[in-house]
Structure 1
Amino acid sequence: MPVITQATAALVDIEVETVRTDAVQSFLKQETLLVEISTDEGLTGVGYSYTIGTGGRAVLAMLRDHLLPLLPGQDSRNVEHIWTTLFRSTRATTVGAITSLALAAVDTALWDLRGLRSQSPLWQLAGGYRPEVPLYDTEGGWLHLSTEELVEGALASQQRGFRGVKIKVGKEHIADDRSRLLAVREAIGQEMHLMVDANQSMTSAEAIRRARAFEDANLFWFEEPLPADDVSGHARLAESTSIPVAVGESMYSIAQFRDYLHRGAAGIVQVDVARIGGITPWLKVAHLAEAYNVAVCPHFLMELHVSLTAAVPNGEYVEYIPQLRGVTNTELEIRDGRAIAPNTPGLGIDWNRDRLDDRTVA
């Protein structure tokens, strides 16, 4: 019986590789919640979750004080049962970021165990649709960069074979956003996908106004223009523009995605495996989106999302933002602008223990 004998958690600070800014914040560091679950069969699964600079110790406290003590003695194969048991034990704090991030660290460790036990890679274990997924680049599109730097970054991504690039929007004057986008579009031509991301910085009226100003830039999507809880605002925006509206990175339950999809407020689903609570609910959201004929292009965590996006038929893009190179022995394999899902058993992330130890803060 693969019974859980021990479960531990740690907080690891991983520095960003480059300055990252958007309309509302700067990405200071990745506070990484690392969970290890061992079983009596001699296997240890490693899972993780993250924040972008705040709240990591609160998530760690949720894990240590409430969730991890419930794991010893459980059959690690019963992933749905464990997820539901932990979720129900935290009713007072669901649905919310702290609980979902904690659940994700546990759930990804359980899926890692699943893969190790069956000697299967995650992309096949979770569905096995295809072994590789197209990439789009965000690293060259941050808000503080000049127009010239945006153009230079987009052309470099195009030369690497990336299928798309994303530019942050939310400048004080709409003319600045528009001129930056048109400059990039002119440089890369019409065939390469161009996405924009407002990071929840706009009102409904302003998002509609900017979408109209962006129409001739031939955008592939308009991401998070409004606060994530404004479903009706996103629905009005979607009705007013031909640009697909992309949402999901700031949603923490399956029901939120259901509401968006049912109201036609999401043209692209960007479900984040950490923020939704793990692989178990991530797959449910992906299949829900498939039922609505909507593509999944998950947010961040490319090292993990490559396998999940490859697992489902409506997985369309992986976002290129490298973040784990400082704490892993191997990097995500990229071939002709496509991310290759790891074929090693489990999550396929080759952690470097010494580097993790050096960055462990709690």
Structure 2
Amino acid sequence: MTVRQAGHDGVVDRVEVTLVDMPLGAARGGSGATQLQLVRVKVTADDGAAGVGFTYSLGPGAEAVAALLEAVHMPAVLGLPLQDWDRTWYALRDRTSRLGAGVALLATSAVDIAVWDLRAVRAGVPLFRLLGAHREDVPVYGSGRATHGMSTAELVEGALSYVAEGYRAVKLRVGVHPPAVDVARVAAVRAAVGDEIAIMVDANERLDLATALWMGSALTELGVAWFEEPLPSAHVRAHLTLAAAAAPPLAVGEHLLGLGGFTPFVSGGAAILMPDAPLTGGVSEFRRIDALAEAHGLAVTPHFLPELHVHLTAAARSGTWLEHFPLLDDLLGEVLTPVGGRVAPPQRPGHGMVWDEAALDRFTVRTALAVR
């Protein structure tokens, strides 16, 4: 265990950026993605302690993130005292503001996660404790055994397998089949799992307002816990209309970048915010989104990536559910295993994610290294 030395705040001595491009085989989840590009950032301090962060794209495009990291972020971070990162986060945002929130914020997210991991490693504590643990474990919902390509019988089988493993909630997808067919599929799962199991429904931004209004009413009758991403995230006014109608609570956020992306939804457009730390600004911005949710009485449940997000959910004042979805499993040497529908953060210093270095090497297409 590396413990922070008294009186030594640490300086970044080494930054490594790796671009990984991995096929996913069968389409994952509701997005239909068959390719994962991962950009991993490893930051090493002058005492030898290291932290790892990452961002990703479902499909091509992460090459642009890697290039920006090499051109802008690596020079900004190399030689940086760790105590100065928080203001450097904002300096990088200001420096890249004309690029928009997309690629630039993804790059900053990866560095931010690496710095927070390093801070916790040097402090000798798990990340959720460094952030201020509000709970020791979190409830998990099963999200990886429901796709549009599955038959209704397969959806039911997947949901029942989660229940048999102790999960108390499952997520289903809608938006590809005709609305009445999608509702019938959800109804079949409800009949199979009973009323005690929570069901979340995700449309992946595929519906228009009229369809979402009709479907929301039907899903309310089925006792759905939340209606996720029913509409394109840019359509804020439509979300307000839907939220005011007979619909389950709305969940938004996996496609929103930065605190400003969430702000329009907190006054009636959503009940659940779903930030994705590697996309929306890292641990730092996730904490600010949690504070925004707390101020408005909303819930926070992050998108994907349970091995990282378990720490942030446990530390979030407004944290609720953790999504268990196997996006990174092929690149990890250790994955979370829920027990009784709950999971606790690893007790190792930092975020405790264990990477399969051989798998990363196999799919690595680009590496950049900067040393002080």
TM-score normalised according to structure 2 size: 0.93
Q: Secondary structure at the match of 2:39?
A: strand
Decide which of 209, 226, 232 is 1:221's aligned counterpart.
226
How far, CA to CA, are the matches of 1:88 and 1:178 in structure 2? 45
- Could you tell me how far apart the structure 1 residues matched to 2:14 and 2:283 are? 21
Q: Deviations over 1:204-224 (max 9, x none)?
A: 222112112322211000010
The reply to whether residue 318 of structure 1 matches residue 322 of structure 2 is: yes
Q: State the AA in 1 paired with 2:275.
A: V
Question: Is the CA contact 1:105–1:278 (under 8 Å) kept in the aligned structure 2?
Answer: yes
Is residue 2:292 matched to residue 1:288?
A: yes
Aligned equivalent of 2:5: none
Offset of residue 19 of structure 1 = 3.1
Measured after TM superposition, the shift of residue 304 of structure 1 is 0.4
In the alignment, structure 1 residue 99 sits paired with structure 2 residue 107: no
Q: Tell me if structure 1 keeps the 8 A contact 2:239–2:270.
A: yes
State the SS of the aligned residue for 2:278.
Answer: coil
Residue 308 of structure 1 is matched in structure 2 by 312
Partner of 1:30: 36
1:90 alignment partner in structure 2: 96
Q: Percent identity?
A: 37
* Count of residues paired in the alignment: 358
Query: How do residues 1-362 of structure 1 correspond to structure 2 at under 5 angstroms?
Result: 1=8, 2-16=10-24, 18-22=26-30, 25-94=31-100, 96-262=101-267, 264-362=268-366
Native 8 Å contact 1:167 1:195 kept in 2: yes
Distance 1:15 1:342, change over 3 A: farther
- Structure 2 residue matching 1:7: 3-state secondary structure: strand
Q: How far does the alpha carbon of each residue in 1:314-362 deviate from its partner, in whole angstroms, 9 at most, with x for none?
A: 2111111123332232221321111211110011101232221122112
Matches of 1:76 and 1:50 in 2, distance apart? 24
Unpaired segments ≥5 residues, structure 2: 1-7, 367-372
Match of 1:7, as an amino acid?
V
Distance in 2 (alpha carbons) for counterparts of 1:231 and 1:134? 29
Q: Report the alpha carbon displacement of residue 15 of structure 1 after superposing the two structures with TM.
A: 4.0
What CA deviation, in whole Å up to 9, does each residue of 1:74-109 have, x standing for no partner?
A: 112333112112111101113x22111111110000
Do the aligned residues in 2 keep the contact of 1:17 with 1:322 (CA within 8 Å)?
no
Which deviates more from structure 2 when the two are superposed, residues 201-210 or residues 100-109? 201-210
Q: Does the Cα contact within 8 Å between 2:168 and 2:341 map onto a contact in 1?
A: yes
1:14, 1:326 within 8 Å by CA — same for their partners in 2?
no
- Contact 1:8/1:64 (<8 A) preserved: no
- Asked if the contact 2:219–2:247 (Cα under 8 Å) also holds between the matched residues in 1, the reply is no
For the 8 Å contact 1:77–1:114, the answer to whether it is kept is: no
Amino acid at match of 1:34: R
Question: What amino acid is the match of 1:82?
Answer: T
Amino acid of the residue matched to residue 359 of structure 1?
F
Give the distance between the partners of 2:53 and 2:193, measured in 1 at CA. 38
State the Cα deviation string for residues 109-128 of structure 1 (Å, max 9, x = none). Answer: 00011011100101111121
CA–CA distance in 1 between the matches of 2:294 and 2:26? Answer: 34
Unaligned runs of 5+ residues in structure 1 are: none
CA–CA distance in structure 2, aligned partners of residues 116 and 17 of structure 1: 35
CA RMSD of superposed structures (Å): 1.4
Paired residue type of 1:342 = P
State the Cα distance separating 1:159 from its structure 2 match.
Answer: 0.9
Q: Which deviations, in whole Å up to 9, do the C-alpha atoms of 1:229-284 show, x marking residues without a partner?
A: 1111101000002410000000002122121102x101111111012110000011
